[in-house]
């Protein structure tokens, strides 16, 4: 099936004379990175969102619903600047101000917490779900619009708060049936703290950051001195949590960096105690994708699933007058639904025209999805099969058509 045709556009006042060529798109064709979610995937995703938000609510995370659009100044202010290149912008015809379509919901929750909920008791636990839209997809996630479910813990700076969100995110996925789950921990501020305390200049720091991003051991060694020794040790320690912590146990670090590493060690111990079967890895120099994070951060993966199931970490909620410590996570539904068993679909029961509504309600209470016939049908069985029903009600009896 062709998706597009080109037709000549008549010149104004001169019908029939070819002018500019216009493209007539097939109605099913969508812009790159956008898609229709069809049955049964749409229902599966809705069910997963419902189950996840229920799990978050059971841990005291109260639901909030931020708007799809916000003023550009608030959406991209402070930490939001990190999402600037991913954000669609447009002019609001009413306010005549620039607004943006949210590319992520975390910073919206921070705005709500630090403006609308400033008088609420801390720590504040909030949850959310909804779609986001980004200017472009990534190599692992080509979709530009996708659904998120997440939780934010605002007003708490203790390592126990970092551990809570890691445990909650992983446990929620485990409750949904995810297998082969692993969490990759990182400390985005560790390298900047080390470079600052060692007095490394900006140009050298930028070179070091690029080398670490590409795991370029030769370039790190070329830095020389304590910088090369410490960064090289950190880079080569990446791997399973216990092995990483053992390799870094005797590493001489500047005081602030040692404190950050000690915090990471505490979080690892808390997560291992709560979820002893969870696979935990650490990459102490990873930074990409965590540009606005200020402490322990993490990504979630499942064996055999391409891309992240979610990510999170510590940041500063800066929308209000006073920044607040915060940590949280976001789960990506387009990846999560491939990592968990699909829920069993309700069996569809065809009810011939004239079936009482109460009968439908009774069968719905028994777990059926009921489909009413709208016209008299001679072959009721064939009509039920045509409409995708595995069962039909005949003379008050449910007949299995499989």
- Inside any domain, residue 71: yes
Percent of the chain past pLDDT 70, that is, above it, reads: 94
- Rounded to an integer, the average pLDDT of 365-393 is 96
- Rounded to an integer, the average pLDDT of 162-176 is 98
pLDDT in tens, 317-363: 886 567 899 999 999 999 999 999 988 889 999 999 999 999 999 99
Q: How far apart are CA 292 and CA 328, in angstroms?
A: 13
- Inside any domain, residue 36: no
Q: How many domains does the chain have?
A: 3
Residue 14 has pLDDT above 90, yes or no: no
Is residue 317 located within the same domain as residue 360? Answer: no
Confidence of residue 234 (pLDDT cuts 50, 70, 90): very high
- Rounded to an integer, the average pLDDT of 42-50 is 94
Mean pLDDT of the chain: 91
Q: What is the CATH number of the domain that holds 165?
A: 3.30.930.10
Which is more confident, 193 or 22? Answer: 193
**Residues 6 or more apart whose Cβ sits within 8 Å of residue 95:** 71
Is residue 111 located within the same domain as residue 94? Answer: yes
Per-residue pLDDT, 2: 42
Helix 255-274 to helix 190-197 angle, to the nearest 10 degrees? 160
Per-residue pLDDT, 275: 98
Q: How far apart are CA 262 and CA 269, in angstroms?
A: 11
- Inside any domain, residue 250: yes
Is residue 237 located within the same domain as residue 262? Answer: yes
Is residue 366 located within the same domain as residue 244? Answer: no
- pTM for the model stands at 0.88
Is residue 152 located within the same domain as residue 54? Answer: yes
**Cα 34 off chain centre by:** 16
Is residue 2 located within the same domain as residue 141? Answer: no
Q: How far apart are CA 75 and CA 111, in angstroms?
A: 9
Confidence of residue 239 (pLDDT cuts 50, 70, 90): very high
Closest CA to 146 of 315, 328, 337: 337
- Rounded to an integer, the average pLDDT of 160-178 is 98
Beta bridge partner(s), residue 302: 181
- Rounded to an integer, the average pLDDT of 151-161 is 97
Percent of the chain past pLDDT 90, that is, above it, reads: 79
The enclosing H or E element of 193 equals: helix 190-197
Is residue 136 located within the same domain as residue 19? Answer: no
Strand ranges, E, within 187-233 = none
- Rounded to an integer, the average pLDDT of 288-314 is 91
Per-residue pLDDT, 120: 96
- Inside any domain, residue 240: yes
Strands 145-154 and 239-240: unpaired
- Inside any domain, residue 11: yes
Is residue 259 located within the same domain as residue 388? Answer: no
pLDDT in tens, 254-278: 899 999 999 999 999 999 999 999 9
- Rounded to an integer, the average pLDDT of 104-125 is 94
**Residues 6 or more apart whose Cβ sits within 8 Å of residue 311:** 289, 290, 297, 298, 299, 300, 329, 330
User: What is the arrangement of strands in the sheet containing 391-394, beginning at the earlier edge strand?
Assistant: 369-372, 348-351, 391-394, 397-400
Is residue 186 located within the same domain as residue 279? Answer: yes
Strands 391-394 and 397-400: antiparallel
Closest CA to 169 of 345, 341, 339: 339
Q: How far apart are the first and last CA of the chain?
A: 33
Closest CA to 56 of 183, 160, 171, 181: 171
**Residues 6 or more apart whose Cβ sits within 8 Å of residue 51:** 175, 176
Ranking 35-49, 150-164, 227-241, 311-325 by mean pLDDT, the lowest is 311-325
Is residue 206 located within the same domain as residue 171? Answer: yes
Closest CA to 133 of 111, 148, 152, 112: 148
- Inside any domain, residue 35: no
Per-residue pLDDT, 38: 93
Give the end of a domain, one of 289, 322, 339. 339
Answer yes or no: are the C-beta atoms of 247 and 285 closer than 8 Å: no
- Inside any domain, residue 22: yes
pLDDT in tens, 217-232: 999 999 999 999 999 9
Give the end of a domain, one of 291, 314, 339. 339
Answer yes or no: are the C-beta atoms of 199 and 192 closer than 8 Å: no
Confidence of residue 118 (pLDDT cuts 50, 70, 90): very high
- Rounded to an integer, the average pLDDT of 370-395 is 96
pLDDT in tens, 332-341: 999 999 999 9
Is residue 111 located within the same domain as residue 252? Answer: yes
- Inside any domain, residue 301: yes
Per-residue pLDDT, 300: 97
Domain of 102 in residue numbering reads as: 41-339
Give CA angle at 123 (119, 124), nearest 5°. Answer: 65
Give the end of a domain, one of 298, 320, 339. 339
Is residue 164 located within the same domain as residue 16? Answer: no
**Residues 6 or more apart whose Cβ sits within 8 Å of residue 297:** 185, 186, 187, 188, 290, 311, 312, 313, 314
Ranking 164-178, 256-270, 289-303 by mean pLDDT, the lowest is 289-303
């Amino acid at each position: 099936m062709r998706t597009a045709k080109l037709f000549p556009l008549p010149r104004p006042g001169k019908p029939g004379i070819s002018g500019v060529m216009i493209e007539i798109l097939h109605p099913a064709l969508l812009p790159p990175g956008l898609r229709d979610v069809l049955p049964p995937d749409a229902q599966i995703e809705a069910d997963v969102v419902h189950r996840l938000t229920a799990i978050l609510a059971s841990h005291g995370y109260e639901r909030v619903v931020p708007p799809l659009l916000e003023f550009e100044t608030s959406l991209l202010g402070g930490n939001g600047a990190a999402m600037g290149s991913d954000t669609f912008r447009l002019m609001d015809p009413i306010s005549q101000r620039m607004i943006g379509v949210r590319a992520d919901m975390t910073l919206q929750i921070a705005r709500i917490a630090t403006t609308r909920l400033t008088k609420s008791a801390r720590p504040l636990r909030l949850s959310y779900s909804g779609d986001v839209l980004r200017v472009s997809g990534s190599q692992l996630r080509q979709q530009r619009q996708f659904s998120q479910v997440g939780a934010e813990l605002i007003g708490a700076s203790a390592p126990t708060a970092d551990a809570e969100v890691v445990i909650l995110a992983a446990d929620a996925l485990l409750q949904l049936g995810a297998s082969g789950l692993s969490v990759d921990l990182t400390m985005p501020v560790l390298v900047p703290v080390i470079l600052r305390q060692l007095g490394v200049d900006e140009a050298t720091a930028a070179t070091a950051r690029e080398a670490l991003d590409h795991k370029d051991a030769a370039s790190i060694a070329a830095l020389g001195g304590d910088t090369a020794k410490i960064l090289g040790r950190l880079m080569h320690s990446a791997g399973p949590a216990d092995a990483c912590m053992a390799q870094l146990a005797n590493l001489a670090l500047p005081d602030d960096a040692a404190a950050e590493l000690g915090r990471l060690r505490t979080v690892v111990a808390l997560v291992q105690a709560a979820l002893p079967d969870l696979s935990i890895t650490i990459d102490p120099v990873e930074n990409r994708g965590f540009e606005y994070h200020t402490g322990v951060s993490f990504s979630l993966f499942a064996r055999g699933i391409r891309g992240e199931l979610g990510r999170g970490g510590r940041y500063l909620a800066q929308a209000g007058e006073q920044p607040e410590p915060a940590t949280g996570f976001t789960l990506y539904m387009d990846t999560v639904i491939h990592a968990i068993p699909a829920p069993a679909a309700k069996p569809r029961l065809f009810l011939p025209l004239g079936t009482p509504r109460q009968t439908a309600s009774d069968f719905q209470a028994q777990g059926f999805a009921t489909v009413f016939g709208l016209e008299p049908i001679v072959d009721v069985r064939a009509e039920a099969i045509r409409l995708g029903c595995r069962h039909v009600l005949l003379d008050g009896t449910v007949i299995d058509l499989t």
